[in-house]
Structure formats: structure tokens, C-alpha cells
Amino acid sequence: MSSPLSAEKIKNHQIGARIGSEVLVFDAVDSTNELAKQHLFQDAREGLVLLAESQTRGRGRLGRSWMSLPGMGLYLSLILKPKIPTRRLPQLTLMAGLAAALAVNEFSVPDARLKWPNDVLLNGKKCCGILCETHPTPTGESGVIVGIGINANHSPADFPDELKSSATSLKIETGNSTDRQDLAIALISHLDKQYDAFLSDEEPTIIEKWLENSDMVGKKITVTHGNTATPGTALGLDSQGRLLVLSDKGEELAFDSGEVSLQPREWPA
Ligand code: BTN
């Protein structure tokens, strides 16, 4: 377990002009995304970052939970109020995943790879997940809570049996403990840079940058939506960030991230 997080020390780094302009650190919370929602409803500023040492009800996508042991991982949520067309909102998950992968890369060899839509992998196993939730604000803007969980100092024994084959941590992959304070600073700083680039739509766009940090194109996958499983080959992402798949039946399909999960069939190779 690394030393406790300190909002003061994080702010002293003056990391982000926008993201991280205000940082709050909590001990145990139910979910930092839930807490961020309450702050959003009280009209908190864009860029507020909430961190917790542990979560009792950390949540993941598709109704899953997120294991949030005290002091082991980074559990962070931030508030965004982007003035962008609604169709671009799902791209914020890609933006956050890219920032998380770049932050993980500062502490890890080999590089992290992105798995659509919201996972960061090390050696093919998940070390980080992103959960974006959209809510209207009291003033009628779109508020987005970006929740990020990074497994930093977990040992294999810390994961339950059902996660042992799919989950990992920075410590397991690198053999080194990571200072969560430094990891938080790196993550907030990358989020600030990538969010700025995303808003100004700099080239290369978020889609291109995301693909550069992923190796899923050309890989055989199965996309599951409810009870329907579609085996096929990943072709890439379209301009909205939807996953393009050539199904084994020869159809070209586009999937929204909302309700879909993805299982590799030969990936990582
Ligand atoms: C996933 O991979 O399914 C998404 C996991 C997201 C976990 C983070 S931890 C911080 C924030 N608070 C939550 O309750 N969830 C996110």
C-alpha cells in the first residue's frame, strides 16, 4: 500500500489549467462517480477532480462493480461540461482512455494498449477501466462524469478468482510499486492536455490518436449485445468512435459503445 493521496501535493504541481483546477481527496466513499454527480448537481465547476482511497460501491460499465481496495489503486472522477454536439459525447471515453494509457506508460514497460471502448491493457490484461456518465446540469448544460480506475499496486492474490485471468496491475506487470500520488498527477496532466486537444479538434483527431495506441485492428473478436454474439474482425473506428466490424458472415457493422462488450478471439496475439 502506498502513502495516502494529498490534494495539496497534487494541486502544488499546477498540473492542469482546466482539469485539476480543484482537487478533492476522500478516504472511503461509495463511488467517486456518485459523489461527482452530487457535486455536478450543486453546479460544481468543470475540471473538478475527486479521488478516493477506497470505494465501497465502485461501479463499472454494464452494471458491473469495480474492485476498489484501500490504497491499492487510483479511483478518480472528474466533471466535464463540454460544449460539443451530443454525437461527440461517446468520444470522451476514448479521450479519457487515451489519457489513462499515456499516464500508465510513464510507469510501465511495455506500453499500455487500448481496447475499445473503455479498457487499458497491459500484456493483454486489463489494468484500467473508464466509466463516463452523462447528466444534465441545473443550468441546462451537458455534464459528463468521467470515472477512471487504475490497478496500481495489486498482487495476483488481491483479485478474485473470476478476474485472475483478465485483470492485472502495474505492479504485477512491472514488478515495481507505483506511487499513486505520481500516477494521479500524470493522469490529471494527460487528461488536461487531451481534453484541450479534443475540444480544439487538433489533428490527429482523437480517433487517430486512440488507434495509434491500440492494436485491435485486424484482430478477431466477438461483440456481444444482450443475448446476441457477433463474431468478426475489428476494422477500426468510424469518425464518431463506433467500432467497425467485418462479421464472419461478411457484413460490415458499426457498434455503439453503450450496451456492447467485446471479447478477443486471438488478441493479444
Ligand atoms: C469499467 O471498466 O467497467 C469501468 C470502471 C470504472 C471504475 C472507476 S473507479 C473511479 C470511478 N468511480 C466508480 O464508481 N467507477 C469509476
The 10s digit of each residue's pLDDT in 76-100 is 999 999 999 888 999 999 999 999 9
Q: 216-262 in CATH: which number?
A: 2.30.30.100
User: What is the Cα–Cα distance from 33 to 35, expressed in whole angstroms?
Assistant: 5
pLDDT band at 269 (very low <50, low <70, confident <90, very high): very low
Instruction: Map out the domains of the chain as residue ranges.
Output: 7-211, 216-262
Question: In this predicted structure, what is the pLDDT of residue 263?
Answer: 84
- With the most atoms of ligand 1 within 8 angstroms of its CB, the residue from 62, 75, 119 to mutate is 75
User: What is the Cα–Cα distance from 170 to 17, expressed in whole angstroms?
Assistant: 28
pLDDT band at 10 (very low <50, low <70, confident <90, very high): confident
Residue 202: is its pLDDT beyond 70? no
Greater pLDDT, 240 or 201: 240
Question: In this predicted structure, what is the pLDDT of residue 136?
Answer: 86
Residue 268: is its pLDDT beyond 80? no
Closest approach atom of ligand 1 to CA 57: 14
User: What is the Cα–Cα distance from 119 to 129, expressed in whole angstroms?
Assistant: 5
Give the pTM: 0.95
Domain range 7-211, CATH architecture? 2-Layer Sandwich (3.30)
Residues framing ligand 1 (Cβ under 6 A): 31-33, 55, 58-61, 64, 66, 75-77, 118, 129-131, 147-149
Burial of residue 250, with CB atoms counted within 10 A of its CB: 0-12 exposed, 13-18 middle, 19 or more buried = exposed
Q: Give the contacts of 209 (CB within 8 A, at least 6 positions apart).
A: 98, 194
CB atoms within 10 A of CB 21: 17
Is the four-CA dihedral 185, 186, 189, 190 of positive or negative sign?
negative
The 10s digit of each residue's pLDDT in 144-201 is 999 999 999 999 999 999 999 999 999 999 999 999 999 999 999 999 999 999 999 7
Provide the strand spans (E) within 87-138: 113-115, 119-122, 125-136
If you take atom 9 of ligand 1, which residue's CA is the nearest one?
149
The whole-chain average pLDDT of the chain stands at 92
The 10s digit of each residue's pLDDT in 33-73 is 999 999 999 989 999 999 999 999 999 998 899 999 998 99
The 10s digit of each residue's pLDDT in 205-217 is 899 999 999 989 9
- With the most atoms of ligand 1 within 8 angstroms of its CB, the residue from 29, 53, 59 to mutate is 59
- With the most atoms of ligand 1 within 8 angstroms of its CB, the residue from 50, 72, 144, 148 to mutate is 148
Question: Which three three-digit cell numbers place residue 7?
Answer: 490534494
> Where does residue 226 fall: left (phi above 0), alpha (psi -120 to 50 degrees), or beta otherwise?
left
Sheet of 243-247: strand order equals 252-255, 243-247, 228-237, 220-225, 260-264
Residue 118: is its pLDDT beyond 90? yes
Please answer whether residues 50 and 10 qualify as being in contact, where contact means their C-beta atoms are separated by less than 8 angstroms. no
Please answer whether residues 76 and 50 qualify as being in contact, where contact means their C-beta atoms are separated by less than 8 angstroms. yes
